[in-house]
Amino acid sequence: MFENLTGKLQAVFRRLGKRGVLREQDVDEVMREIRLALLEADVHYKVVKDFIGRVRERAVGAEVARSLSPAQQVIKIVHQELIETLGEPGQLELRGPAPYVIMLVGLQGSGKTTTVAKLARHLKHGGHLPLMVAGDTYRPAAITQLEVLGRQLGLPVHSEGQHAQPPQICANGAREARQRGCDVVVLDTAGRLQINEEMMGELAAVKKAVKPVETLLVADAMTGQEAVNIATGFHERIGLTGLILSKVDGDARGGAAISMRAVTGVPIKFLGTGEKTDALEVFHPERLASRILGMGDVLTLIERAESAFDQKQAEQLERKLRDASFDLGDFLEQLQQVRRMGPLSQILDLVPGLGQLSQEVTPEVTDKQFKHIEAIILSMTPEERRNPRVLNSSRKRRVARGSGTTVQEVNALLKQFQQMQRVMKQLGKGKGGLQGLMRMFG
């Protein structure tokens, strides 16, 4: 989402790094470029004005003058002020007697129903037992969609069809949660194409009926500057306790994330990073600030890896690497686990120093490559996966036909796998492993 903004800020900092000493006019020039980059990214103009004012005040003061590296100090100041603008880390306030009711609101098409399922999954993994309530009686597929998602997640869903009144549905859902022993209720509510009196009146009635501990707005990051106006409208009418920014994996310019908390005073609590139910991240301002500046986000990368990788499989893989018995079947398992972490471009964004590379890796290209590799390996017999040396010309032609690829692509995969095996053997013996690994990745 922050691709353009990150690129522009990194270009500014590269030019800044070439100057040994920063004069006041140098700082002014840098501030103009940062201001332009933020405005082009759809950051609210008032937020930009306040942000630039704070950065400039610190950059022209003694803080930079005493620094051994003025350029690095300016980057540090920008990073700290970004964290300040983005606000505090997102945390759900689950207090008082259970069940805790969480009410999700937003415009039609913002991704509310999917976000209800994502949030319920997040709560389940946190040790809670959530119940989802289908309170959107206007969109025909909303109830069915939530019921399907509930079955996929193994979580209960309360629904009463399209003819019941939403406030009553939500109140009945809260009662059912108490009977089932569920400690959290996540409400899906109806949206409209725009804010109107009927919509706000209904949401106010739902809120009065269930008294939620959290009222979260699901805001589409793709709407840019308008997302700030939508958040302000909802907050003034029904009172929000937090924001969930959806579709941050899209090609939005990212300004909404920086602006929304500053303009509304309402904290961002979660980021929706994809379509699947596991694509929901707790909001950490310091991590997002690092990603905006191209510094990566190692902690989020570790969290994704921990959730995607099976510990027993990892131990088995380690033994195989030591014994040099790593085969194509193991390679396929690892590839599938990496894919569960999310698109490769997102993963590269989290690795410090590889943000620029992620801009060259489109999800469509990497997904196609992964599918080709997967199809080639799945077209092999168990014996061929264990021992690729048995693959002669006729076998390779059969694998190519079965996977919808060419013999050249099969040969390329086998060559890469042989290189990987050689490196693994070196790593197991402790001889030149790092150099071999670097050569393998070019």
Q: Are 41 and 254 in contact (CB under 8 A)?
A: yes
| Same structural domain, 19 and 136 | no
| Same structural domain, 246 and 133 | yes
| Same structural domain, 351 and 255 | no
- What was the pLDDT predicted at 217? 93
For residue 405, being part of any structural domain is answered with yes
Final residue in a domain of this structure, among 51, 86, 121: 86
Mind listing the pLDDT tens digit of every residue in the chain (442 residues)? 556 677 777 777 777 666 666 677 777 888 888 888 888 887 888 888 998 898 888 877 655 555 556 667 777 888 888 888 888 877 888 888 889 999 999 988 888 999 999 999 999 998 999 999 999 998 878 999 999 999 999 999 999 988 889 999 999 999 999 999 999 999 999 888 777 888 889 999 999 999 999 999 998 877 767 778 888 889 988 999 999 988 877 655 567 777 888 888 888 899 888 888 988 988 888 877 777 776 554 555 555 555 555 666 656 666 665 666 678 887 787 777 766 666 655 565 555 544 444 444 455 446 677 788 889 999 999 999 988 889 999 999 999 999 999 999 999 888 888 877 776 666 555 544 444 444 443 3
Note the Cα 370 to chain centre separation in Å.
20
The rounded distance, in Å, linking the Cα atoms of 42 and 253 is 6
| Same structural domain, 58 and 127 | no
| Same structural domain, 312 and 260 | no
- What was the pLDDT predicted at 264? 84
Burial class (CB in 10 A: 0-12, 13-18, 19+), 438: exposed
For residue 184, being part of any structural domain is answered with yes
Domain count of the fold of the chain? 3
Domain range for 226: 100-284
| Same structural domain, 355 and 392 | yes
The rounded distance, in Å, linking the Cα atoms of 418 and 383 is 16
For residue 121, being part of any structural domain is answered with yes
For residue 382, being part of any structural domain is answered with yes
Q: Are 249 and 260 in contact (CB under 8 A)?
A: no
Final residue in a domain of this structure, among 36, 59, 86: 86
- Give the domain CATH number at 317: 1.10.260.30
**Residues of 58-95 as b/e, b for ≥16 C-beta within 10 angstroms?**
bbbeeebeeeeebbebbbbbbbebbbebbbeebebebe
Which residues have CB under 8 Å from 192's CB, separation 6+?
107, 108, 198, 199
| Same structural domain, 311 and 169 | no
| Same structural domain, 160 and 49 | no
Token representation of residue 7: 């690129």
- Give the domain CATH number at 240: 3.40.50.300
- Give the domain CATH number at 79: 1.20.120.140
- What was the pLDDT predicted at 347? 60
Final residue in a domain of this structure, among 252, 284, 316: 284
Half-sphere exposure of 334 (CA within 13 A, CB side): 14
For residue 294, being part of any structural domain is answered with no
| Same structural domain, 262 and 362 | no
- What was the pLDDT predicted at 151? 95
Instruction: Please report which residue ranges of 20-163 form alpha helices under DSSP H.
Output: 24-40, 45-59, 62-65, 70-86, 112-125, 142-153
| Same structural domain, 250 and 110 | yes
| Same structural domain, 76 and 125 | no
Q: Are 113 and 145 in contact (CB under 8 A)?
A: yes
For residue 309, being part of any structural domain is answered with yes
For residue 290, being part of any structural domain is answered with no
From residue 252, give the alpha-carbon distance in Å to each of 41, 348, 362: 8, 18, 15
- What was the pLDDT predicted at 113? 93
For residue 91, being part of any structural domain is answered with no
Prediction pTM value: 0.67
- Per this entry, what is the length of the chain? 442
| Same structural domain, 202 and 314 | no
Of 159, 184, 179, which Cα lies nearest the Cα of 169? Answer: 159
